[in-house]
Amino acid sequence: MREGSLGATPGLGNASVRCRSRASASSPLFCHFSACSDRRRWLGTRGSTLLLSKGKRAKQASMELRRGANASEVEAAAPSTSSNRKLKEGIANFYDESSNVWEVIWGEHMHHGYYGKGEGDGSVVSQGGVGPASMSLQEHKEAQVLMIDKVLDWSGSSLERPESVLDVGCGIGGSTRHIAGKFGSVRSACGITLSPYQAQRAGEITAARISDKSKDVSFRVADALDQPFEDESFDLVWSMESGEHMPDKQKFIKELYRVMKPGGRLIVVTWCHRILEHEQTSLNRLERVLLGAINRAYYLPDWVSVADYEAIASEVGFESIRTDDWSEKVAPFWTAVVKTALSMEGLKGLAKSGWKTARGALVMPLMRIGFATGTIKFNLLTAVKPKQ
């Protein structure tokens, strides 16, 4: 929800940091890389000279792509217990370090905004009516809130009456609080994250903005692949842009299935790679290089396509599975993120936050390239657990 508006949101209460526990060579890509030889275009703004000198900037981009190439060579290897542990630690440390920087500039929502096109689409446009390119930061924040509502509408959740909600990968609780406030039927909502900072901050924000003592809105540090909840605990399970961090996608979906009540709804919004073409067995080398560089900066394991997610959901036992591609609807977001990172406030925050956050900022333009070439997709999946 946009900054400053949450206090007016009905239906939040009993904020805490607890939850009930369980008892026991694609040519388009090549051309796009070539176009990035203009170093100012590479970082997406003329202000990029404030972040790195021209030589250092080009060198850093080259280093990240080389590292991505090396990472892509082992992409097919099965993740080990040791590598998964290191990945979890890296994710937790990354968000411990970077979340405050994000909140200071962007507020409580740590996900893409919705910029749908078309009359009656409800898309956010700037006050001048000229579209996302001229939108203010506040309007981008409103697009993030609109994203939550649009996903709920698309999934059919807006017509249902969830009572218990789980937010998997909750950040600092923006989606958790918004969903709890949106549905009068919700009596409990719990967000989980690997980041101790995020769990604590989510509880602090919620405690300061509660308005309904009858609702239990809580947060805790927990692993999405091994959740501390009883079977069949929630009737709405929500995951907004956290699935990309999961090293075992099948285990991820199985665990979401386990904690859902029969008849409950699953909503997963996640980054995917494109669906492979007929007879393709993997992405091409340039695409793997691109994703490898992004993986290093954002602590991501191997990517999958939305078709892979759909197959896993079906195998696990979900019914009424639907998917969609909203890549075009989120296209303006990364341009706005790069712009704010290179603002004076953003640069100060990056300087204070540490190398992990700064490295994340350096590869933001690669996300733009990924979306522009179609390598990266912004996908949605919703499904229902069969009633017993």
Q: Token match 């101790």: residue?
A: 196
d(CA 113, CA 336) in angstroms, rounded, equals 10
What are the residues whose beta carbons fall under 8 Å from the beta carbon of 36, sequence distance 6 or more? 42, 61, 365, 369
CA distances (Å), origin 31, targets 37, 180, 372: 10, 45, 11
pLDDT given at position 116? 87
Rg (CA), the chain: 20
d(CA 168, CA 259) in angstroms, rounded, equals 11
The bridge status of strand 319-325 relative to strand 376-384 is antiparallel
CA distances (Å), origin 165, targets 216, 238, 313, 345: 10, 7, 19, 35
For the record, the structure tokens of 170 come out as: 């909750």
CA distances (Å), origin 22, targets 218, 230, 262, 337: 16, 4, 18, 39
For the record, the structure tokens of 32 come out as: 């796009």
The answer to whether the CB of 269 falls within 8 A of the CB of 380 is yes
Per-position DSSP letters for 217-267, written without gaps between them? EEEEE-BTTB--S-TT-EEEEEEES-GGG-S-HHHHHHHHHHHEEEEEEEE
pTM, two decimals, is: 0.83
pLDDT given at position 37? 37
Q: Which of 362, 361, 376 is nearest to 98 (CA)?
A: 361
What are the pLDDT tens digits along the chain (388 aa)? 333 333 334 445 555 555 655 544 444 454 444 444 333 333 333 333 333 443 444 445 445 554 544 444 434 344 568 889 999 999 999 999 999 999 999 999 999 999 987 545 556 544 444 466 689 999 999 999 999 999 999 999 988 999 999 999 999 999 999 999 999 999 999 999 999 999 999 999 999 987 777 899 999 999 999 999 999 999 999 999 999 999 999 999 999 999 999 999 999 999 999 999 999 999 999 999 999 999 999 999 999 999 999 999 999 999 999 999 999 999 899 999 999 998 999 998 988 888 899 999 999 999 999 999 999 999 999 999 999 7
